[in-house]
Structure 1
Amino acid sequence: MAFTMMALCWKLLICFLFYQVVSGRVRREGHYVAAVYEHESILSPNPAAPVERRAALELMGRNLDIYEQQVLAAARQGAQIIVFPEDGIHGFNFTRSSIYPYLDFVPHSHSGKWNPCRESHLYNDTEVVQRLSCMALKNKIFLVANLGSKQPCERSEPRCPSDGRFQFNTNVAFGADGALLATYRKHNLYFEYAFDTPAEPDYAFFDTPFAGKFGMFTCFDILFFEPAVSLITQYNLKQIVYPTAWMNQLPLLSAVEFQQAFSTAFNVNILAANIHHPTLGMTGSGIYTPVKSFIYHNMESYGGKLIVAEIPVIAADYKTNLESNERFRVNLHDSCRTSTSTSLDDEVCFKEQETPGRVSEKEKGKEQSPPFFYAEMMYDNFTFVPLWGEKGELQVCANSLCCYLNYQRAVLTDELYALGVFDGLHTVHGTYYVQACALVKCGGLSFSTCGQEVTDATALIDFQLWANMSTPYIFPLLLTSGITLDFADHMGWKNNHYFLSKNRTSAGLLTAALYGRWYEKD
């Protein structure tokens, strides 16, 4: 009897250890294991051509075969949740009619509980949803994926399209039991003529036993107030799942660059899965926390990439940097304060009532001031001033926005850098109001190359960057050579200016910027 009890105890202990250690991964208390998969989707050779549902299912099935392999691989590494990219199952470049055979019927998550794997008979045209549900159930993992969905409507209804159906770019989230937990219909479409915009933005989130609530939105949504900012602030969310099909645009909107900035600005964890098509400039996925990132950016080779990482759960009562930013702006503390509550050296702070970056009367005339010039960056007309010499103080303004920079190069290289400012409405590939102060490496040695896409740099620069931003929604960008990420030493508000400082970047500096979104002026 004693031997039997001892054997039982050992079995229970082994089961417990197996739960805690999966494929050598130890899960620490207050942490969870997440996975994202950057997928090189198998695309239709002619997406505009109409096909039968059977042919559409065959192509999507080939992508789902890969998903199934990656779910199993992630689960074996202890992942509790996995996220797949936007457009990963059906592809893109469809017309409204040619995409129709690729669309599943997906009931809105508010319509009641449904487990597609176990209740496949409830709805027609749900083959893709069923298969995703069964992947989650089989591997006991939460799963988030993106697909096209359809919803019939009466032509007499307001907003009902002439073909009698709505077509949505849709995210679906499944629990570890295969149940459909939440759906999200993309609100900010990016030239997606095959899809409709929902009448009202979805605020989609789902609950998990390991990290609380996860919110979700898609790709272009990340640049707008609705639903991304509303979702996070209204529901106090700290974990975000983010399928995307993002085309990188340097120097300010590389996928990993902005995903990290969003995580930092809102103090949230982001599980971001991008599609992988380097010829279209599409790569860049990651698992992001406000202080550490696990990223993948590869423009050289093909094939998918699974990222698995253990990250801490952010408590729901933890304030966002944006909340802190607004508090600093309103209160205008006399002492230096940062979003991380870290004290700053006196040299980083500027004195009360002093304009940051202002050159003293004593210093004036000692050296020639660098000239202002104009160049296009991100399709916007930036005003620039070049960085000359080993160190200096610069100022450049546009409209109501002024940017200030103190800098010192570790080693003087022959690379040209410039400080640029833009304060206005961006109107190419979307319309939205931007306030941006950006220190960037130029593409060459002439002023006309400033603002070009650059991927490599050698200059290590200490800097403090300030701006009198008019919005609290500021995304700190810090991108280094090879499209790698770095983190600021300090950032926060002081004397109605937002600042970002770094002593010696970890690699050559590509971009250090304050990217502000003034949503009210969109």
Structure 2
Amino acid sequence: MITKELIVLLVVALAVDTSQTSTPSSPFYTAGVVEFKTASSTFDASQQVNNNLAAYLEIIASQEAAETDIIAFPEGTLNSVLQSTFVPDPTSNIVPCKQSQYAHFLQKLSCQAQISQKYIVVNLIEKENCTKETQAAKNDPRPCSNDGLNIFNTNVVFDRNGTVISRYRKFNLYFEPYNVTLNSEYGEFSTDFGVKFGHFICFDMLFYTPTTELVKSKITDFVFTTMWFSELPFLTAVQYQQSWAYSYDVNLLAAGASNPSVGSTGSGIYAGRNGAIVSVMKSSPERKLYVAKVPKKGFKESESVPVKQLQIRKKRTITSYMKNLLVKRDPQLDTFTSSPLNKSANHDNLCHKDLCCHFHYKTTILTPIANSRSYQYRLAVFDGDRIYEGIKPLGWSVCSILACINNTIQGCALAFDEDVIVSPDLRFDHILIEANFTKTENGLIMPNSVDDSLMPLPVNSFQFNITDIGSKTNARFELLTPKDDLIQFGIYVNFFGERSSASLGLVSNTLIALCLLLFIMEFKRWRW
């Protein structure tokens, strides 16, 4: 019997050009990342997943997606615990399309990958049966829950035939009521266009396991599904995505959940040291596919394929962005060693513990427009532990120039009120920040910047170099293009491990509790 649904699928199949865009001999592949707003919370769980699924399928079948080899969707925007699904083991080479033991949305996505002939990466809530026998088979001594299910935050990858070829369960959870595997899994898959990918989820980006381990295994292309909660001055979404991809010199496909009212937005496609090909931070939610041609790493002819920058840097400001986009502030910023930038000088040194940062700068005094306010700048240094709302301390070091709404550190990483006219009274014609950091194979030293449009500086506007000197690593971050709207410009080092045993003392229990309460409130609004 020919159903209406079958007719629609046949029409889509005929309309879609299934010719393969990229082959192993191509110097590039075509990728798409989706900035995606989940369905309204006024729907019940079944309605929500159906609404989200319909939008996913429409995007995959759209004309905009026609030339893509691979499309990535963001974290947490498809289903809920109430609509969780079993996911086949990738080693079984199963095509879930029309197999009833899997949730209908997993079946439909498998079918659509097959019809459109694309690699599809989605993030979903997975369920897995848990018994004493299954735990023993995995050498996992932990007991099962009373309902006999494990629930995971999971990436699933379909190939062009709709086969599940990779599954990764998030290892570094951020206040999420899910299970984790005993040891980290490694999300990776190979494609018919000659590129091997690693993939990971949101908070994983800040940790060594499994993300940096995938980089060290020589994988050069990554898919990143995320529901990022942006934080000034160092961790807004696109800012950190570009910094991470640049520092490891890898291609990165980042798909971000779009819910600016709780702080989630930020998607992009990055070509390592060549920077963002396309990237967006949105102050209003959207469901949109962003497409770019990505030069293959290590490809002989890749030098002849220029990175076409699609990034649009609009003249919106943080003040206008933050009217609708919630941006958190680093809760440890007030513990930094800081001092006002001396406009009459051209250099300064500042230390925190054993870290000393050297700042060289050339500025021009500007005349702001009447009845306006201007950012004041401070030098800031920190060396110690970073605590993410009281969980998972990581060692980090920072040398930075910060924009502040007043002349105190408490005024940094904040925006002026919406009704304030902001006009610069200072332009940086040149900046050089230099420091010697503890040498470690497990650390990541990054150039880190963001301007008044909540976007990182383009890679052609700066120079960044690191050099090993004995037991230290010297880093130099240099601004090459004059800039009058800097919010943060600095060297950011993630050591992927705790630096001091007293780390929890850096943030008061009260602050941790308040941050946790805020996140739970946001979490309840966002996840159904």
- Which whole-Å CA distance do the structure 1 matches of 2:102 and 2:47 have between them? 14
| The one of 462, 468, 474 aligned to 1:497 | 474
- Which whole-Å CA distance do the structure 1 matches of 2:259 and 2:204 have between them? 21
The alpha carbon displacement at 1:316 in A equals 8.1
Match of 2:121 in 1: 144
- Which whole-Å CA distance do the structure 2 matches of 1:245 and 1:141 have between them? 23
**Amino acid of the structure 2 residue aligned with 1:379:** Q
Q: Judge conservation of contact 1:31–1:311 (CA < 8 Å) in 2.
A: yes
- Which whole-Å CA distance do the structure 2 matches of 1:20 and 1:65 have between them? 24
- Which whole-Å CA distance do the structure 2 matches of 1:247 and 1:232 have between them? 24
Q: TM-score when scaled to structure 1?
A: 0.75
Match of 1:448 in 2: 410
Match of 1:426 in 2: 386
| Greater displacement, 134-143 / 501-510 | 501-510
Q: What SS does the corresponding residue of 1:206 show, helix, strand or coil?
A: strand
2:356 equivalent to 1:379: no
Match of 1:439 in 2: 401
- Which whole-Å CA distance do the structure 2 matches of 1:179 and 1:163 have between them? 29
Residues 210-268 of structure 1: CA distance to partner in whole angstroms, max 9, x if unpaired?
2410100000000000000011112x111100110001111100000000011001111
Match of 2:323 in 1: none
Residues 147-204 of structure 1: CA distance to partner in whole angstroms, max 9, x if unpaired?
00011111574322232211100000111111111000000000001x1011110111
Match of 1:178 in 2: 162
Matches within 5 A, 1:111-510: 112-117=92-97, 120-121=99-100, 124-155=101-132, 157=135, 158-159=141-142, 160-193=144-177, 195-234=178-217, 236-290=218-272, 291-293=274-276, 294-299=278-283, 301-315=284-298, 377-380=330-333, 381-389=335-343, 391-412=345-366, 414-429=374-389, 430=391, 431-452=393-414, 458=424, 459-461=426-428, 462-470=430-438, 471=440, 472-486=443-457, 487=459, 489-494=462-467, 495=469, 496-505=473-482, 508-510=485-487
Query: How many residues in Structure 1 have an aligned counterpart in Structure 2?
Result: 422
- Which whole-Å CA distance do the structure 1 matches of 2:256 and 2:451 have between them? 20
- Which whole-Å CA distance do the structure 2 matches of 1:129 and 1:210 have between them? 24
**Amino acid of the structure 2 residue aligned with 1:401:** L
Match of 1:332 in 2: none
Query: What RMSD over aligned residues (CA atoms) do the two structures have, in Å?
Result: 2.8
Match of 1:321 in 2: none
Residues 364-396 of structure 1: CA distance to partner in whole angstroms, max 9, x if unpaired?
xxxxxxxxxxxx944341111211215511111
Distance 1:168 1:457, change over 3 A: farther
Q: Judge conservation of contact 1:436–1:514 (CA < 8 Å) in 2.
A: yes
The alpha carbon displacement at 1:45 in A equals 4.2
The alpha carbon displacement at 1:116 in A equals 1.1
Distance 1:129 1:181, change over 3 A: same
Match of 1:513 in 2: 490
- Which whole-Å CA distance do the structure 1 matches of 2:475 and 2:400 have between them? 13
Q: What SS does the corresponding residue of 1:404 show, helix, strand or coil?
A: strand
Q: TM-score when scaled to structure 2?
A: 0.74
| Greater displacement, 458-467 / 380-389 | 458-467
Matches within 5 A, 1:93-104: 99=81, 101-104=82-85
Q: What SS does the corresponding residue of 1:69 show, helix, strand or coil?
A: helix
Q: Judge conservation of contact 2:21–2:68 (CA < 8 Å) in 1.
A: no
| Greater displacement, 137-146 / 155-164 | 155-164
The alpha carbon displacement at 1:209 in A equals 2.2
Residues 44-64 of structure 1: CA distance to partner in whole angstroms, max 9, x if unpaired?
349xxxxxxxx6333201101
| The one of 16, 34, 44 aligned to 2:41 | 44
- Which whole-Å CA distance do the structure 1 matches of 2:341 and 2:351 have between them? 15
Residues 444-488 of structure 1: CA distance to partner in whole angstroms, max 9, x if unpaired?
344431243579874542101112211441121122221122225
Say which one has the larger Rg. Answer: 1
Q: Judge conservation of contact 2:433–2:478 (CA < 8 Å) in 1.
A: yes
Residues 126-160 of structure 1: CA distance to partner in whole angstroms, max 9, x if unpaired?
32211111121111111000000011111574322
- Which whole-Å CA distance do the structure 1 matches of 2:416 and 2:155 have between them? 33
- Which whole-Å CA distance do the structure 2 matches of 1:475 and 1:36 have between them? 24
- Which whole-Å CA distance do the structure 1 matches of 2:385 and 2:26 have between them? 46
The alpha carbon displacement at 1:18 in A equals 10
**Amino acid of the structure 2 residue aligned with 1:178:** G
Residues 311-367 of structure 1: CA distance to partner in whole angstroms, max 9, x if unpaired?
2011289xxxxxxxxxxxxxxxxxxxxxxxxxxxxxxxxxxxxxxxxxxxxxxxxxx
**Amino acid of the structure 1 residue aligned with 2:444:** Y
User: Percentage identity across aligned positions?
Assistant: 29
- Which whole-Å CA distance do the structure 2 matches of 1:454 and 1:513 have between them? 22
